[in-house]
């Protein structure tokens, strides 16, 4: 009975603040808030926090268990300018931070509901199992779904988040192992740069096999100007995202046009936010001085 009362109370709170932006001038989450979560092309969960007076990026990052480098990875446009009231800050949320089982001792004053909004092509199974590892029958019961039909824009309850934020112990490089690979390559790149290697810059087209199948572990590039195994910095100026990838080998001359300076694996291209199979990038690589 206690669990049922709690669920009803959560939905009452959610219904009254359906479009509330989280936090106030003193706190980053309040009991009246609702988290409207999105899922990007690599399965990363995130929501947008509206910056308030007296808040700082450093304390915001700490509240959600992020390092500043990780926060800037998702918000590159904030790195070199002051953040003003009303600015939207993208916050990644790891699956492990989302509570997906109501507990009898849970208090509605200590947790906020997490809501997923349906987009084109999403299904009951994809949202419940693939996105959030939630049993389908539980998901359907929470959302009073009699059938498997969903509509674009439909708002679905998928769990709760503590108003105490996200401990960094619940993160594994922002919930996505791909970020760890990029981060490790970045550290090696900077070590080689500080050891005296020369940094070179190329600008041109990147290509990726948009329709091809990819495994979760594929995170590499084909590149002509540096040795296999070396790290490569790839920057997308359209959204200011940068990733570091490992060079797998040379670009086959007969397979790609001459203006293609790098061929990326699908995972790397998606981390850069690529939408088209060809897009403009800036590449940095190291060579012995």
CA distance 123 to 212: 22
pLDDT in tens, 201-247: 999 999 998 765 555 457 899 999 888 989 999 999 988 888 899 99
What the block records as the tokens of 138 is 């539980």
Tokens 């709690």 found at: 6
pLDDT in tens, 119-148: 988 999 989 988 888 999 999 999 999 999
Of 272, 282, 286, 271, nearest to 190 (Cα)?
A: 286
Q: pLDDT at position 102, please? A: 65
- State the SS3 of 2-65: HHHHHHHHHHHHHHHCCCCCCCCCCCCCCCCCCEEEEECCCCCEEEEEECCCCCCHHHHHHHCC
Helix (H) or strand (E) holding 69: helix 68-74
pLDDT tops 60 at residue 10: no
């Amino acid at each position: 009975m206690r669990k049922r009362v709690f669920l009803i109370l959560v939905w009452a709170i959610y219904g009254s603040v359906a479009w509330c932006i989280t936090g106030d001038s003193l706190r980053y989450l309040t009991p009246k808030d609702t988290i409207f979560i999105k899922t990007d092309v690599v399965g990363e969960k995130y929501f947008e926090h509206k910056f308030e007076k007296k808040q700082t990026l450093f304390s915001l990052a700490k509240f959600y268990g992020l390092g500043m480098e990780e926060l800037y990875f998702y918000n590159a446009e904030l790195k070199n300018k002051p953040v003003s009231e009303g600015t939207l800050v993208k916050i990644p949320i790891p699956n492990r931070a989302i509570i997906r089982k109501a507990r009898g001792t849970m208090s509605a004053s200590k947790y906020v509901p997490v809501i997923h909004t349906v987009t084109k092509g999403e299904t009951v199974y994809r949202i419940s199992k693939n996105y959030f590892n939630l049993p389908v029958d539980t998901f359907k019961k929470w959302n009073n779904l009699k059938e498997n039909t969903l509509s674009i824009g439909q708002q679905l309850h998928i769990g709760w988040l503590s108003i105490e934020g996200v401990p960094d112990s619940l993160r594994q490089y922002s919930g996505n192992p791909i970020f760890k690979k990029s981060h490790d390559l970045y550290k090696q790149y900077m070590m080689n740069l500080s050891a005296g290697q020369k940094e070179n810059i190329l600008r041109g087209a990147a290509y990726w096999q948009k329709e091809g199948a990819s495994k979760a572990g594929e995170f590499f590039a084909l590149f002509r100007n540096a040795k296999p195994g070396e790290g490569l910095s790839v920057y997308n100026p359209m959204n200011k995202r940068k990733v570091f990838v490992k060079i797998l080998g040379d670009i086959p001359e007969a397979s790609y046009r001459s203006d293609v300076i790098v061929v990326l694996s699908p995972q790397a291209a998606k981390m850069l936010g690529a939408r088209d199979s060809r897009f403009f990038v800036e590449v940095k690589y190291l060579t012995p001085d």
